Structure 1
Amino acid sequence: MGIDTGNTAWVLLCATLVFFMTPGLAFFYGGMARSKNVLGTIMQSFFLMGLIGVEFCLLGYTMAFGDDISGLIGGLNKLGLEGVGTAVMEDTGIPEMAFVAFQAMFAIITPSLISGAVPGRMKFGAYALFSLIWAICIYNPMAHWVWGGGFLAELGALDFAGGLVIHILSGVSALTLCLLLGKRQGYGRIPMLPHHMPMTILGASILWFGWFGFNAGSALGVGQLAANALITTLLAPAAAMVAWVVVEWMHHGKPTVFGAASGCVAGLVAITPAAGFVTPLGSFWIGVIGGVICYFAVAVLKNKLGYDDSLDAFGIHGIGGTWGAIATGIWATTEINEAGANGLLYGETDLFVAQLISIVVAYALAVVGTFIIYKVLSAVMEMRLDKNAETMGIDISEHGESGYNQSSL
């Protein structure tokens, strides 16, 4: 099969949209951080565009999409993108190099999401090394299990654009890491409010913009499937935003801008695994329920259990991704995607069971893998800032810079 120029142009365009999501995430998290930590928080996303970009092209792609080895990992036949340059993917007619670019953007943003649980208290060197090892040992194998022909794919699990691989892995790992690091100084005793809400709204808007490439690009071509994924990526976050704001209004008495941004992202997370498998009406209900579930995870569960997930990486990505994976097993239909399967609402149970098993596997990998990586690194290096450095803020203590030029009297 020759190169399909339309499909190729679409995938390349979507790859650049997904690339833009990581700076969007940096703004989203940066605005929610305290002013003394804004640069360090942004750096935790921005730097991974370089670090994981190198790792995935040289090693990660072959681990995820190389020749399958016993359903567990890809072989090294594509190490350093060996042999990829002239290959064309048969089903879609796109150069494999375009697929590499698209998948690289997914690999970059996934560990960046973890940073939302630890701003202001983790040393930058420790964070960078943790992210690199996490990408190699946790992300790459999971990507192979689901997308590269591994055992979860053989089981029948569906994940259109990353609910299992991206959001559950990063969200659960974020919770594990923040528990291992411990709470920020003064957490629960002094206000730790977002310092720049316009920056956060800008970041959320960029994320939504890029997410159209994230989900619709996963169709790997121009056509009905891409159009469906784009519409569901509009409808689900819109519904989740409205649901979050309404519930927040009823619960706390005021509809907040921060709530609207959080609800939007929660809906985007929830629809990600299902975008190419469900109808628009199904995406509406996934968004509504996802917005409500994530709101209570952030506003009630976190406070009740007392863990310091600073920017709600687990409450939105972990919980939202879990709901999205479950919802795929409920609303998926072959009427939308013949390569998928029918969920509970269409009279079949196999997919739902496969989704539940895959969720358990993703949770186990994230918790155990993160715990082991943290313990190994903490044995040879300091993971957390000391008290004085944390009080000063990571901008000055870790990077020697300040996000804002301020004069003091």
Structure 2
Amino acid sequence: MKKLFTALALASAMSLGIAWAEEPAAAPAAAAVTETTPAEAPAAAPATTAEAAPAPAATAAPAEAAAPAAAPAPTLSKPDNAWVFVAAALVILMSIPGLALFYGGLVRSKNMLSVLMQVFVVFSLISVLWVAYGYSVAFTEGNAIFGGFSKLFLKGVNDTSLAATWSKGIYLSEFIYIVFQGAFAAITCGLIVGAFAERAKFSAVLAFLVIWFTLSYLPMAHMVWYWAGPDAYTDAEAGAKALLTAGLLFQKGALDFAGGTVVHINAAVAGLVGAYFVGKRVGYGREAMTPHSLTMTMIGASLLWVGWFGFNAGSALEANGIAALAFVNTWVATALAAVAWMGVEWIWKGKPSMLGAASGAVAGLVAITPACGFVGVGGAMAIGLSAGVICLWGVHGLKRLLGADDALDVFGVHGVGGILGAILTGVFADPALGGLGVWDYVTNAVAPNYSIASQVWIQTQSVLLTVVWSAVVSVVAYKLVDLVIGLRVPEDEEREGLDVTSHGEKAYNV
């Protein structure tokens, strides 16, 4: 336990120190957020915002009374606020109990409780770190990679603080926006534990995730989703200045509606690196390691699917047509992916499996995540079909090529699905293919001359940066944790099962 606390303290100090070094001496005044001005907005801007409207023009005044009319103060949109409350709760449902049961059913019964414990405690730990410093580092102005420290422990945020949405003049309560984004961070970290399930030390898992959350999740969230908000784009000059304060990949024009890069690719790479560092399970390839409860896995997958509507449609940050589009795309892409995976497996193995259908559904959810608010329904169906087939290969053919014991196929589903979805977003966001294009906040219209080739190249750059960033941080973090407390339980404890040896409990007392 002393080693765990030492590692956690070291990880936090290291992470905060690096981020602190990146903070500028003073943020531009234009980005300041107070209780009467909107907070910076997150997540991928919807491709179109039909309900957005420019601020009303100031009323003309006589020359002798030349003071311009004051812009109306930002006000809370109660209907949109209510929708994000629901969406945030749905995202939390995805982690506990959704992800916990999905993963728990896939391991052997002697490790069921350990997986539940890891997901539950990781969710709790990351939630605390998000409030302490995560939100500030991810969603305040700093530089193109890290935010600042102006909102440590939510300093300055109160019941009147507002957060911008993707439409001009529409705002949310900043508190619920913080919860919504914090739930994203928590489930991302929870996804990683499936890659090295059944053999990692509980203390090592927590220590690693403190470092990885700080140095990989937070920078990626800032690079992809941080910007000054739509109201900063009043004209071309103001828009250019506002863009310079945004995250690196946002500046490049990367499209990621709800987390293809930030969540899925980011977590999958960390999981794959972890599978290499922790090593293969005792008996892997020689002993049967079949899931102990596909009933639990099916329940978990269903909860993930339901919760994912909050994850994807909630990222519109408004109860509008974009949220409805993301909702229907999440529904149909997932369904088609489940059918596609099951169908190919049926032809291949002669029987359709519950595990295949559930895995296909999750693959569809992953792949449609970056695209859901940018593509039309036809594009969503194409992405879902592709995910069902390609992710099936990811958990069989690619897994053999990689040679890692990725126990619950984190990379095969979340990595392959996330990369596929991120790239295909660039294709199917094209208005010529039923997509919504990219919204120009200066002209308040869809930007003309959409180029698939250019956007796919931007999407590819965002994927490559995510893979490299997460891999480098993961290698350093795993090595550090291994040196301080060790990554893996002893062989005899692994054979007995982590439920008893790590937690002194059993999932089933029968």
TM-score grouping bracket, smaller chain normalisation: over 0.9
Q: What is the alpha-carbon distance in structure 2 between the residues aligned to residue 302 and residue 252 of structure 1?
A: 18
Structure 2 segments unaligned to the other structure (5+ residues)? 1-73, 227-245
1:378 maps to 482
Whether the 8 Å CA contact 2:437–2:450 is kept in 1: the answer is no
The equivalent of 1:214 in structure 2 is: 311
- 2:87 maps to a residue whose letter is C
What corresponds to 1:19 in structure 2?
92
CA shift, 1:20, in A, is: 0.5
Aligned match of 1:3: 76
Once the two structures are superposed, the pairs formed by residues 213-292 of structure 1 within 5 Å of their partners are 213-292=310-389
**Residue 347 to residue 140, structure 1, CA distance change in 2 (3 Å):** closer
Q: Which residue of 2 aligns with 1:147?
A: 225
SS in 1 for 2:372: coil
Q: Percent identity?
A: 46
Contact kept? 2:280, 2:404, Cα under 8 Å = yes
Q: Which of 180, 183, 194 is residue 105 of structure 1 equivalent to?
A: 183
- How far did 1:80 drift? 1.0
> CA–CA distance in 2 between the matches of 1:44 and 1:238?
29
The 1:61/1:186 distance shift into structure 2, 3 A limit, reads same
2-structure distance, mates of 1:189, 1:348: 47
| Residues in 1 aligned to 2:319 and 2:269: alpha-carbon distance in whole angstroms | 33
Task: For structure 1, list consecutive stretches of 5 or more residues without a partner in the other structure.
Answer: none
Distance of 1:348 and 1:247 partners within structure 2: 30
| Cα RMSD, aligned residues only | 1.6
Max Rg structure: 2
Task: Give a deviation string over 1:101-136, Cα, whole Å, max 9, x none.
Answer: 100100100010001111111000110111111111
Q: How does 1:7-406 map to 2 (within 5 A)?
A: 7-23=80-96, 24-69=98-143, 71-85=144-158, 86-90=160-164, 91=168, 92-148=170-226, 149-333=246-430, 336=436, 338-339=438-439, 347-406=451-510
Report the CA distance between 1:346 and its aligned residue.
Answer: 5.6
Q: How many residues align?
A: 404
Q: Which has the higher helix share?
A: 1
Residues 226-257 of structure 1 show CA distances to partners (whole Å, capped at 9, x for unaligned) of 00000000011111001101110111111100
- Alpha carbons of structure 1 residues 132 and 175: separation in structure 2 relative to 1, 3 Å: same
Q: Distance in 1 between matches of 2:365 and 2:355?
A: 16
Contact 2:426-2:452 at 8 Å conserved across structures: no
Q: Deviation at 1:259?
A: 0.2
Letter in 1 for 2:202: F
Alignment partners' CA distance in 2, 1:123 and 1:283: 40
Letter in 2 for 1:146: V
Instruction: Write the letter of the residue equivalent to 1:48.
Output: V
Q: Name the SS for the 1:355 alignment partner.
A: helix
Distance in 2 (alpha carbons) for counterparts of 1:50 and 1:112 = 10
**C-alpha distance in structure 2 between counterparts of 1:197 and 1:166, whole Å:** 25
The answer to whether the 8 A contact 1:146-1:153 is kept is yes
SS of the residue corresponding to residue 352 of structure 2 reads coil
Instruction: Note the C-alpha offset of 1:179.
Output: 0.6
The match for 2:50 is none
Instruction: Give the equivalent residue in structure 1 for 2:234.
Output: none
Deviation at 1:156, TM superposition (A): 0.7
Partner amino acid, structure 2, of 1:358: S
Secondary structure, aligned partner of 1:255: coil
The question of whether the paired residues in 2 share the 8 Å contact of 1:342 and 1:348 is answered with no
Corresponding letter in the other structure for 1:259: G
Q: How much has 1:350 moved relative to structure 2?
A: 2.2
> Cα distance, 1:347 vs. partner?
4.0
Q: Secondary structure of the residue that 1:89 maps to in structure 2? A: strand
Aligned position for 2:31 = none
3-state secondary structure, aligned to 1:301: helix
SS of 2:256's partner is coil
For 1:6, the aligned partner's letter is P
C-alpha distance in 2, partners of 1:84/1:277?
31
Which one-letter code corresponds to 2:436 in the other structure?
I
